[in-house]
A and B are shown apart, each in its own frame.
Chain A
């Protein structure tokens, strides 16, 4: 742990709450980046980030200091995102008409084997996040952590607090569910 983090935490725990701002300023970009992987709505992102820092402030005395503060905060961030996703269940129905024109065009280009599909990654990104929104919270969580962030099963287990076997089971089911959604998307386009 960096000395400045330790100093700030000690000061906050000793009653100087204004020092918490230094921690917020230092880590808020990372927390925003992580939260944006789970929510596409900016207002939701801000609410989740706020919740993360409020929880961090409340639970600061439970931080033991044997691992970097950033790891502790990221664990808290991932768990807060999971709680938020579970509490705000989305409409799981997926309609081809919900896709933006650019996303639909990307699918057309991909289908036609057009090389430009490779170039417009932003549209592909939007498309995958749209499909992920339709998955249950635990499935979305495990797909983002494993397939997008490239984390190992053990890392996911530590971040989420799930057992290693539960992570494996959820990853397997999540992939299956995702494929089902993609197949439906393809089928609906052909209709």
Chain B
């Protein structure tokens, strides 16, 4: 059997077939049922999406606040020790002179 010939014959048969455009009874009702369901779900999804967005924003703000607080605490402790160091340096000469001004 010639494969070329067989292939050609099979393609020819497939090409000559008219498109089967039969639609099951009331199929559009089934589609519209699903569409209406989607519209209803979309309303809820809208709120859910809004809540999720708010939750994500809330977590982001919380993280930013946390980081800022950590930075300010560590920066604050540096300032405290710097102040203590400065005070010590300034008063070092006074201490060395035995406090006789």
Contact = CB atoms under 8 A, between A and B. Distances in A.
Interface of A: 17-18, 20-21, 24-25, 28-30, 32-34, 36-37, 46, 49-50, 53-54, 57-58, 107, 110-111, 117, 121-122, 124-125, 127-129, 131, 147-148, 150, 178-179, 182-183, 186
Contacts of B24: 46
B14 interface: yes
Interface residues of B, number: 28
Nearest to B32: A21
B23 A29 contact: yes
A127 B10 contact: yes
B11 A24 contact: no
Q: Is the interface of B mostly helix, strand, loop or mixed?
A: helix
Given A121-B17, A127-B10, A128-B13, A179 B3 contact: yes
Given A25-B28, A49-B27, A128-B10, A150 B15 contact: yes
Interface of B: 1, 3, 6-7, 9-11, 13-17, 19-24, 27-28, 30-32, 34-36, 38-39
